[in-house]
A and B are shown apart, each in its own frame.
Chain A
Amino acid sequence: MPADSPAAPIEVTDELGRTIEVPQPVRRIVSLAPNLTETVYALDAGDRLVGDTNVDDFPAAAKTLPHVGAVLAPSLEKIVALHPDLVLATNDLNRRVTVEALARLGLAVYVTDPLSIEDVLNSTARIARLIGAGQRGDSAVAGMRARLDALAQRLAAAPPRRVLFVVWTDPLISVGKHTFLNDALVHAGAQSVVEIADGWPQISFEYVLKLQPEYLVFAGSLSEANAPPIEELSKLPGWRDLDAVRNGKIAIVSDAIDRPGPRMVDAVEELARLLHPEIFAPAAPAASKLIAPENHTEVCTACAR
C-alpha cells in the first residue's frame, strides 16, 4: 500500500453510528482521551499524533505532545490549528457537543464507545484500519486475545471472586453492570456484588454490609487520593465491619483497569493474580519482580503448562 500518495477518503461509521469521511492517508491525529492516545502509540503511529489532552500520561511521550485542553472542555481552536486528518474521541469521556462542533468545522471525528473488552479489541482494529495500520492492529489484537484466552483457561476452574470495585469512598460509588470496567472484572475472575444499575451507581453501605464482598478492589490513581490504607479503613465505621477489611482482602490494581486501551490486558492479568493467588503459583509473584513486564506473560503462560 502506498504510504504517502493521496488516496480517496474512506467513509466509515463510528461507534455512535455517525458516518464520517476520513481523508487518506491519515498523517495527523489528535486524540481527545488517554486510552485512545495509548492505542495510537500501541499501533506504532505515535509519531503521527499531533495533539492530546492535559491528562494523557502514558506512554511518557504523550506528556510532551501539544495539549488541546481538558477532556471535558478542550479548546476547539487549538484542535483546528493542529490540522488533524483524524480526531479520536470516546463517548465515555468526551462531550457530545465537542464532537458535533468539530464535525461542523469539517473535521473527521471517530468516536469509540467500548462497553466490553471485546469492544476495545474491535475498536482497536477499526482505528488501525482507518490510519492505514491494519496489519499492526490485527497482530496487536491477536496478541491481546491470546493472553486473555490463556487467562480464561487458567481461571476456568476458579469460582469468580465476589468483589466491590470502589470508585469513590465517600459517598460510596461503585461500577454498574453495563460498563467496560465490569467486563474487565469478569475477565479477571471477579464478579461485582453490585447488581443494581448501569454507569457509576452510588451505593448504600447497608447494601454492601449485607452482601459482604470477598475483596475490595481499588484502582491506582483512579482512587489513590481516597484509597486509605487498610489500618485506616479498619477504623472507619461501616468499613471496619466488612469481612474484606477484617481479612485484609484489598486489591489495589493499576488504573489501566479503567482504560479501554492496550494496557487493559496487563491490568486484568494483574487483578487476576491478586484475586486468585492460589491459582498463580506462590513462586510466580516473586518471579514477576525479576522479569520485565513484556516477558512476564510468557513466563506465566509457560508455568501454566
Chain B
Amino acid sequence: MRPLTMRRVVWTCALLSGILFAVSVMALKLGAVPISVSDLVVSLGRLAIGRTDQLPLDYRLIVFDLRLPRIVLGALVGAALSVAGAGFQALLRNPLADPYVLGVSSGSALGAVLALQFLPQIALATPLGAFVGAIATITGVYYLGRRHGQLDSTTLLLAGIISASFLSAIIMFLMTTLTSRDVRGMAFWMMGDLSTPLAPSLRWFFLVALVVGIGAIYTTSPDLNLLVTGEREAMHLGVDVTRVKLVVYVAASGLTALAVSASGAIGYVGLLVPHVMRFLFGSDYRLLIPTSALGGAIALVLADTLARTIIAPSELPVGAMTAIAGAPLFIYLLRRSMR
C-alpha cells in the first residue's frame, strides 16, 4: 500500500468534490419539468449574486425549493450512510456490515409506524418517531451487545440481527392490524425515499449532527486502521479499544438514525460505497472516511436523479434504485477482488 500523504488526501477529496459538484448541477437540471441549461445558468447566476427575487416563480419553486433541497438531503444522507457503513465494517470486522445490520432501520420504522398511528396530527410524526425508535434500538442493542462490560463484536452482531428480525416481526404485526391509512405510505418509506423534503425546522439540527457524527468517526480513523487487524493487536499498539469502539458505535448508529429518520431505510449505499472507495483508493481509514462521505453523496444524488426521472412524472423510491444498481455492482467487486 502506498503511504498516505496529506497531498494525496487533499487531491483525492478535491477530485471527488468536483465530481459531486458536477453531479449536483446535472441533478438540478434534470427532472420531470424540462429546464434548459441556459435558464439554469441564469438562475444559478442570480442565486450567486443574491437576486433570487428576479427569478421566474416556476424556477424558484422547482429548482430551488424542490430540486436543490432534495439534492442536498440526498448528499447528506448518502454521506451519513457511507461513513456509518465504513464505521460498522471496522467495528464488527465484517465486510458485510451495513448501517442497518444492528437493527437501526427496523427500530426507526417501528417508531415511525407507532407515531403515525397514535400521533398522526403531529406534522413531523414520521421523522421524530423514527428517530426515537432508532435511538431506543441503539441503546437496547448496546446493552445486549456487551460482554464483560465492553462491546464485543460477535455479541453485538448477534444482538443486532436478532433485534432487527424481532422488530420487523412487530412491524408486520402492526401493519396488518393497525388501521390508520397513513401507515399505507410506510411501504414507500421503508424502501427509502427522498421525495419528502426535510422540514425546515430540522435542517440545522440535521446538518450539525451529521458533521459531528462524521467528524467523530474520522478522529478514530488512525485507531481503526489498527483495530481491523485485531483487537488484541490494536490494544498492544496502544489503542484505547473500548473507547474507540464506543465512539464508532455511537457515531455510526447516530448517523444511521438521522439518515433513516429523514428518508427511510435506503439500502446498499452504506454497504457498497466504502467497498468501492477501498477498491479505488485503498483501505487506510484516514482516506476511507472522507472519500466514503463524498462517494456516498455522489452515489445517492445520482441514484435519486435516476429515481426522479426514469419513469417521470412518476417517481421510484430511491431505495429501489440503489438496490437495482447496487447488487450487481457488489457482485462485480466481489469477483474482481477474488482474482
Interface residues in chain A, defined as those with a beta carbon under 8 Å from any beta carbon in chain B: 54, 67-70, 72-78, 80-81, 83, 91-92, 95-98, 100-101, 104-106, 176, 178, 197-199, 202
Contacts and interface: CB of A to CB of B under 8 A. Distances in A.
Contact of A75 (B32, B176, B196): B32
A92 to B, nearest CB: 6
A95 B32 contact: no
23 contacts: A73-B188, A73-B195, A74-B313, A75-B33, A75-B308, A75-B313, A76-B66, A78-B312, A80-B61, A80-B62, A81-B33, A83-B58, A91-B181, A95-B182, A96-B120, A97-B195, A97-B196, A100-B123, A101-B196, A104-B197, A106-B61, A178-B179, A197-B179
Contacts of B182: 95-96
The contact size tier of chain B is 20 to 34
Given A72-B188, A96-B182, A77 B314 contact: no
Contacts, number: 82
Contact of A101 (B120, B176, B197, B315): B197
A95 B185 contact: yes
Contacts of B195: 73, 76, 97-98, 101
Contacts of A75: 31-33, 308, 312-315
Contact of B33 (A78, A91, A197): A78
Nearest to B62: A77
B158 to A, nearest CB: 32
Interface of B: 31-33, 58, 61-62, 65-67, 120, 123, 126, 176-177, 179, 181-182, 185, 188, 193, 195-197, 308, 312-317
B308 to A, nearest CB: 7
Contacts of A74: 313-315
Given A78-B33, A80-B66, A73 B314 contact: yes
Contacts of B65: 105
Given A81-B33, A100-B123, A73 B315 contact: yes
A65 to B, nearest CB: 12
Nearest to A104: B197
A91 B315 CA distance: 19
B313 A105 contact: no
Contacts of B67: 77
A115 B58 CA distance: 36
B181 A67 contact: no
B76 to A, nearest CB: 18
A279 B193 CA distance: 52
A70 B314 contact: yes
Q: Lowest 4 CB-CB distances: which A-B pairs, in order? A: A75-B32, A69-B313, A75-B313, A198-B179
A100 to B, nearest CB: 6
Given A75-B308, A78-B32, A67 B58 contact: no
A104 B196 CA distance: 11
A81 B58 contact: yes
Contacts of A72: 185, 188
A95 B179 contact: no
